[in-house]
Structure 1
Amino acid sequence: MKTYFAQLEQAMAQTSSFDGQTAKIIHLTNAHGMTASFMDIGATWLSCTLPIEGQRREVLLRSPTMAEHMKQDAYFGAVVGRFANRIAKGQFAVDGKRYQVGINNGDNSLHGGVEGFDKKRWTVVERSANQVVFALHSQDGDQGYPGNLDVKVTYTLTDANELSIAYEAHTDQTCPVNLTNHAYFNLAGEASGAKSLDHMLQLNADYYLPTDAGLIPTGEQKPVLGTSFDFMQPKRIGEEFLTEPDQQTAGGYDHAFVFKPEVTDGISAAAVLIAPKEDVTMTVLTTKPAIQFYSGNFLAGTPGASKTYQLYDGLALETQYFPDGPNKPEWGLNNGVLSSGDCYQHQTVYQFEF
């Protein structure tokens, strides 16, 4: 274990990051030997290992070095914000005033803009044997967003083999806020050669959000029934892959799925991912109304920990509010706009069985 942690530190904390300083790495281990590692750059979930058959299985994708981490645009394991996912043309209106935020994804803003929360150094405010708390202050005007925003993210590794992520935020002006973690999972192992398409997935979601060519939701909430987006029962991801125009536009799955309201209580199974050999099951519990299921359609050529990644080498399950929500007032509370004085409070748990 110490050797593994040392290798991780050597890869990510030997050379300077965006601000010219080296990253701080924090390691957590539970009673069963499961580990989770984090760094203060992007409050990033850097590593997750499971003790399986005497081996240490890494189930997260990541960059091989800090230098490569700074070049990649996959957002490996980072907390993304202020607004996760896309905002059309980087524009929205709040309280009658229009705002323009950074464009970094075609014509649109993605994951907070050019210098989103993934590129910031977060402060480690608390840490213990099983928990680390990161905090970030985003000043008024950061990336074009209104208001001073204070964010806290708490990672807890439990002896029930759960990685819990609790999000809290406060703003002094009404502002879009949509925080998520952008971990990429491969439950067969980061170096296994298995694909996201080989996994089984269940999403307790009756609807998904179709998108235009720029992957901005059209505004429709489309029933999954009778489509390739139906994951109400566990299904191999590759089974109906690229069989419909809504998938073909995105090169696979890169869509928000709208959870049944009753599974967003933080204690019900909202999503379940099963490894190709069924030796690992990951259950997602959340208080968020939706999840962006991304099958790794743009990974090709990205340097990774064990190899250069190819298409579908990992997948993301990002719990969140609806993409482009600030421009869709008809979505009501799911649009991800935080009122001044209100507290943003959400939790997502990734529970592993092995």
Structure 2
Amino acid sequence: MNEQTNLFDSMTAEVAVDGRPAQLFELKNNNGMAIVLMDIGAAWLSCKVPVDGELREVLLGQSHMSDFQLQQSYMGVTVGRVANRIAKGQFSIAGVAHQVDINQAGNTLHGGTYGFDKRRWIATDNSEKNSGENSVEFELVSPDGDQGFPGELTVKVKYQLTEDNTVVLSYHGKTSKATPINLTNHAYFNLLGADSGQSALTHSLSINSGVFVPTDDVGIPTGEWLSVQGSHFDFITTKLVAQDFMLDKHQQAAKGYDHAFVLDKSCLQGALAASLTSPDNVVTLSVFTTKPAMQLYTGNWLAGTPNRRGGEYQDYAGIALETQFVPDAVNHPHWDHPNVVLQPEKTYQHQTCYQFTV
């Protein structure tokens, strides 16, 4: 508990971008597992899993607000309105063209320069309200025209910690005008220990997907979907992440895996979407989701990112398993994919579960 207390002290010692200290929340279960959440970016700051009588920190992150604001790797934050990339920041809805904020290589990444990851969300701590639910919910209102996106969008993300060591993320959205929405969490996992100094490429990974989405040299989908069969993107059978690493043009352009996998439709009925196991075979992370796709990102550009101990992470220090819609789906309505445009009469509702077993 002492380290968590230190995180509460250290992260609030400096004010956030709006001039006020952040609010942090801790959820614990009867197994001793503990997670820490923050209202800035509706962020998942810490995830400690009980291993052999000790708590193992499996989430990459920072201990100080200045470091959190300095890092550009979106560590643990909720990203939106639209996670991943929109080509040239352009799309059309019902024949009306929209130009949104561009912030990476001429494209829009994770919602623009001032995305949801940089905002203060309004928090409701349900764990202290005798609701019987060990959870914290964050809410954000994004005004019409925010970063160029149409419609006033109200979003909520709820974190719940269950007794079977599952972190449940529930997403909810309502809009006043038709707008694209694609929320995800950008946690980086190293199940051997976030501060172990070991590369996450030594983890074993399976992904319940027969299709991956190739991209151009700035991460925009080329438009085609390719079978993983016979490729270095085949994770249907569990293998080391390092096994086929950087062996093809798709990975070489991205400096590793930074690609969407279209999940098998059985995942919508509760089938396992992905499984990640530590190299010591002690901790396994199982991912379940209602999202149709998942971005595998192997932390290709983490070098120089501040860590908790005053040092820096190296490339490939953590692996992100970002459940979402396929990147740039708003510009590919012909894809066999759910519509990413939310209509005013509809509700955006999705859930992703990260279950840790030891």
Q: Does TM-score exceed 0.5, indicating one fold?
A: yes
- The whole-number CA distance in structure 1 between the counterparts of 2:317 and 2:56 is 15
* Of 250-259 and 186-195, the range deviating more from structure 2: 186-195
- The whole-number CA distance in structure 1 between the counterparts of 2:271 and 2:122 is 32
**SS of equivalent residue, structure 1 residue 334:** coil
Given residue 162 of structure 1, which amino acid in structure 2 is its aligned partner?
T
Partner of 2:161: 157
Partner of 1:95: 94
Shift of the alpha carbon at 1:336?
1.6
Shift of the alpha carbon at 1:64?
3.2
Q: Does 1:119 align with 2:118?
A: yes
Shift of the alpha carbon at 1:314?
0.3
Alpha carbon RMSD of aligned pairs, Å?
Answer: 1.0
**Selected match of 1:214 from 213, 218, 222:** 218
- The whole-number CA distance in structure 1 between the counterparts of 2:232 and 2:259 is 12
- The whole-number CA distance in structure 1 between the counterparts of 2:63 and 2:220 is 31
Shift of the alpha carbon at 1:329?
1.0
Partner of 2:314: 310
Number of equivalenced pairs: 352
- The whole-number CA distance in structure 2 between the counterparts of 1:5 and 1:15 is 17
- The whole-number CA distance in structure 2 between the counterparts of 1:188 and 1:70 is 26
* Of 80-89 and 49-58, the range deviating more from structure 2: 49-58
- The whole-number CA distance in structure 1 between the counterparts of 2:214 and 2:271 is 26
1:50-65 equivalent positions in 2, closer than 5 A: 50-65=49-64
Shift of the alpha carbon at 1:335?
4.5
Given residue 196 of structure 1, which amino acid in structure 2 is its aligned partner?
A
Shift of the alpha carbon at 1:126?
4.0
Partner of 1:105: 104
Given residue 176 of structure 2, which amino acid in structure 1 is its aligned partner?
D
Q: TM-score, normalised by structure 2?
A: 0.97
Partner of 1:135: 139
- The whole-number CA distance in structure 1 between the counterparts of 2:211 and 2:329 is 16
Partner of 1:290: 293
Shift of the alpha carbon at 1:94?
1.0
Shift of the alpha carbon at 1:18?
1.2
1:314-353 equivalent positions in 2, closer than 5 A: 314-331=318-335, 333-353=337-357
**SS of equivalent residue, structure 1 residue 249:** helix
Given residue 306 of structure 2, which amino acid in structure 1 is its aligned partner?
P
Q: Is the contact between residue 84 and residue 178 of structure 1 (CA under 8 Å) also seen in structure 2?
A: yes
Q: Is the contact between residue 292 and residue 337 of structure 2 (CA under 8 Å) also seen in structure 1?
A: no
Partner of 1:26: 25
Q: Is the contact between residue 328 and residue 335 of structure 1 (CA under 8 Å) also seen in structure 2?
A: no
Seq. identity, %: 48
Partner of 2:275: 272
Give structure 1 stretches of 5+ with no counterpart: none
Q: TM-score, normalised by structure 1?
A: 0.98
Shift of the alpha carbon at 1:205?
0.3
Shift of the alpha carbon at 1:333?
4.2
Q: Does 1:183 align with 2:177?
A: no
1:228-253 Cα distance to aligned partner (Å, 9 max, x none): 00000111000010000011010000
Given residue 265 of structure 2, which amino acid in structure 1 is its aligned partner?
P
- The whole-number CA distance in structure 2 between the counterparts of 1:161 and 1:272 is 15
Partner of 2:83: 84
Shift of the alpha carbon at 1:219?
1.1
**SS of equivalent residue, structure 2 residue 69:** helix
Shift of the alpha carbon at 1:332?
5.1
Give structure 2 stretches of 5+ with no counterpart: 129-133
